[in-house]
Amino acid sequence: MPELEDSTTKTKAEFDPNILQDLLPLYYKRLFPHKQFYRWMSYGRSESSVFSNREFSFTLQNDVYIRFQSFETQQELEREICSKVPVKIDIGAVYNIRPKDHRGSVSMQPVQRELVFDIDMTDYDDIRTCCNEANVCQLCWKFMSIACRVLDEALREDFGFEHLLWVFSGRRGIHCWVSDKSARHLDTAARSAIAQYLNVLISGGEGTTSRVIIHDEMHHSVKRAYRIVAPLFEEICLVDQNIFGTPEGVKKLLAQVQDQTMRAELEKRFKAGPSDSKNVWQEFVAYFEELRTSGNINRYRRYKFIVEEVTLAFTYPRLDINVTKGFNHLLKSPFCVHPKTGKVCIPFNPNIASKFDPTDVPTITDLLKEVNAFDEKNTVEGEENRSKIKDYKKTSMFKGTVIFEEFLRKLEQTFKGKAAALSDMKMEF
Q: Does residue 110 contact residue 95 with C-beta atoms inside 8 Å?
A: yes
For 275, half-sphere exposure in the C-beta direction (CA atoms, 13 angstrom radius) is: 9
Query: Average pLDDT in the 44-63 region?
Result: 94
Q: Are 345 and 336 in contact (CB under 8 A)?
A: yes
| Range 167-202 burial, b when 16+ CB lie within 10 A, else e | bbbbbbbbbbbbbbeebbebeeeebbebbeebbbbe
What is the Cα 63 distance to its own chain's centre?
24
pLDDT of res. 235: 98
Could you read off the pLDDT of 322-343 as tens digits, one per residue? 999 998 889 999 999 999 999 9
Where does 97-179 have alpha helices with state H? 138-157
pLDDT band at 102 (very low <50, low <70, confident <90, very high): confident
- Which of 90, 114, 120, 240 is flagged as catalytic? 120
Catalytic residue, candidates 55, 283, 370, 391: 55
Non-local CB neighbours of 43 within 8 Å, separated by 6+ positions: 50, 51, 179, 181, 411, 415
What average pLDDT is seen over the chain? 91
Catalytic, out of 118, 309, 366, 391: 118
Q: Is 118 a catalytic residue?
A: yes
Mean pLDDT is lowest, of 79-88, 182-191, 252-261, 411-420, for 411-420
Domain boundaries, the chain: 15-199+318-378+388-428, 201-316
Active site residue 153: no
The pLDDT assigned to 417 comes to: 66
Fold of 15-199+318-378+388-428: DNA primase, PRIM domain (3.90.920)
Whole-number Å distance between alpha carbons of 194 and 70: 29
Residue 120 is a catalytic residue: yes
